[in-house]
Amino acid sequence: MENNITDIIKKAEELVFCFKKEIDNINDLKDIGLIRTKYMGKKGLFTSLLRSLNELNKDKKALAGKALNNMKKEVEEKINFHHELLRNKLLNDKLKKERIDITLPGRPINQGGVHPISKTMDEIISILGTLDFNVEEGPHIEDDYYNFTALNIPEYHPARQDHDTFYMNGSKKKKLLRTHTSPIQIRVMKEKKPPIKIIAPGNTYRCDDDATHSPMFHQIEGLVIDKNISMANLKWTIKELLTAFFNVKELPMRFRPSYFPFTEPSAEVDIGCSVDSGKLIIGKGKDWLEVLGCGMVNPKVFDNCNINTEVYNGFAFGLGVERFAMLKYGITDLRMFYDNDHRWLKHYSFKPTGFPNILKGIL
C-alpha cells in the first residue's frame, strides 16, 4: 500500500504537472467542467489522493495534508482563473463577430408621411381619373413658344407681364421655366389627334415670393377636345370635381366671366362658403371663394395646333394645387408647404398607406 509520505507528495506533484499541461490546452467552457470533475470531483484524481492520507499516521498525515491542501488550492485557483479567462475570450470573440456600425443611419419606423400637396394632387388625379381623364406631363424648362405664343399670348401681350417669368440666360430659343401647366395642352394637341381628355399636373414657376406666392408652386391643367363640346360639359366636370374633392353634397358654384388669352369665353369659378367662429366651411353660405380658371378653347389655339375648328371644339381649366390644399386642410400660410418644419409636416402629412380612392371616399 502506498503510504510513504514522499511518494504521496511526489504523486501529487505529478498530478499537478499533468493538470497544468491539460488545462492550458482547454479552449471550451465545457472542458473546464470536465477537468474539474477529473481532478476535484468526488472520485477525482486529487480527491482520491487526499483520501489515501487516511492511511498515514497522525503526524505524517498532518504534514502531507498541508502540502496537498496547498496544491489542491493551487489547482482550484487555476481552474477558476482559466474558467474566467476563457469566458471573457469567448465573449469578446462573440462581440467582435456581432459588431454593428452604430454610425450607420437608423431605419425610422412610421416616421414619413405624404405631403399635403402630394395628397391633394393624388386626390384630384383620382377624381378626374374616374371621369376618364389621362395624365400627361411636359418639361419644366419650356420654349417661349409653348408657354406663351401658341397659347395666344404673343410678344408684347400684357398677359406676359402678369407671369413674372424666369428666363434662362443665353438660350437662343428663349427658354424659360414654365409659368403654368397650360403649355402641356399645346404639346398634347400637337402630338395626339382628338378626341383628347387629359389632365396635366406639375410644378410651375414664377418670380414671386411673399406670404401668398411661392417661386415654385403646383397646378393641374385639364383639356377636353371632341365634337360638340359645350360649356355645359365643362360645368358638369367642374361640379363633379369640386363636390367630390370638398366632400360636400350641395356646392353652390358661380361661373364669373373672366379673361384668359387661350380660352374664349373664359370664366373663373367661385364656390359657396361661410365662416363660422374663424373656421372656413365650404358649401352653402353667403360668401364666395374663387377656386379655378376655365373656358372654351380659343379657336386661335386650335389653329396653332392644326386642329380643325369646323369639326372640333373643347374646354380647358387650370387650378392651383396649393390653394386647393389650403382650403381643404385648413392651412393658412402658403410658405409652410416648403419650410420642411418637422412639427408642421407631422401634423399636416398623411399616412403613406391611405391612397385616395373615389369609391371608398376621398377623405
Q: Which residue's CB is nearer to ligand DAH, number 259 or number 355? A: 259
Decide: helix, strand or coil at residue 257: strand
Rounded distance, CA 348 to CA 333, Å?
12
Report which of 200, 199, 192, 316 is spatially closest to residue 262, judged by C-alpha positions. 316
Find the shortest distance in angstroms from Cβ 321 to ligand DAH. 12
The reply to whether 261 sits near ligand DAH by the rule CB under 6 A is no
C-alpha to C-alpha distances, 29 to 14, 85, 93, nearest whole angstrom: 24, 10, 14
SS3 assignment for 63-122? HHHHHHHHHHHHHHHHHHHHHHHHHHHHHHHHHHHCCCCCCCCCCCCCCCCECHHHHHHH
Q: Could you say whether residue 302 binds ligand DAH (CB under 6 A)?
A: no
- The number of C-alpha atoms within 13 Å of 56 and in the hemisphere containing its C-beta is 21
Q: Which is nearer to ligand DAH, 72 or 206 (CB)?
A: 206
Least separation in angstroms between CB 120 and ligand DAH:
17
Nearest distance, CB of residue 282 and ligand DAH, angstroms = 21
Taking CB positions, which residue lies at the least distance from ligand DAH? 318
Q: Find the part of the chain contacting ligand DAH (CB under 6 A) among 137-145, 228-236, 281-289, 310-318.
A: 310-318
E strand or H helix at 200, and its extent? Answer: strand 196-205
Residue of 263, 298, 304, 313 interacting with ligand DAH (CB under 6 A): 263
The Cα–Cα gap between 71 and 49 comes to 12
Contacting ligand DAH within 58-97 (CB under 6 A): none
Asked if 295 touches ligand DAH (CB under 6 A), the answer is yes
Task: Rank residues 243 and 263 by Cβ distance to ligand DAH and give the closer one.
Answer: 263
DSSP state of 310: T
Among 12, 294, 321, 326, binds ligand DAH (CB under 6 A): 294
- Please select the residue that binds ligand DAH; options are 180, 187, 218, 323, rule is CB under 6 A: 180
| Cβ-proximal residues to 200 (8 Å cutoff; 6+ apart), any chain | 135, 136, 137, 138, 181, 184, 185, 188, 220, 221, 222, 223
Q: Does 293 bind ligand DAH (CB under 6 A)?
A: yes
Considering only residues 214-243, where is the footprint of ligand DAH by CB under 6 A? 221
Burial of 239 (0-12, 13-18, 19+ CB in 10 A): middle
* Rounded least distance, CB 275 to ligand DAH, Å: 26
Given 46, 148, 205, 260, the residue binding ligand DAH (CB under 6 A): 260
State the number of binding residues for ligand DAH (CB under 6 A): 11
Phi, psi at residue 296, to the nearest 5°?
-85, 135
Binding site for ligand DAH (CB under 6 A): 180, 182, 221, 260, 263, 293-295, 316-318
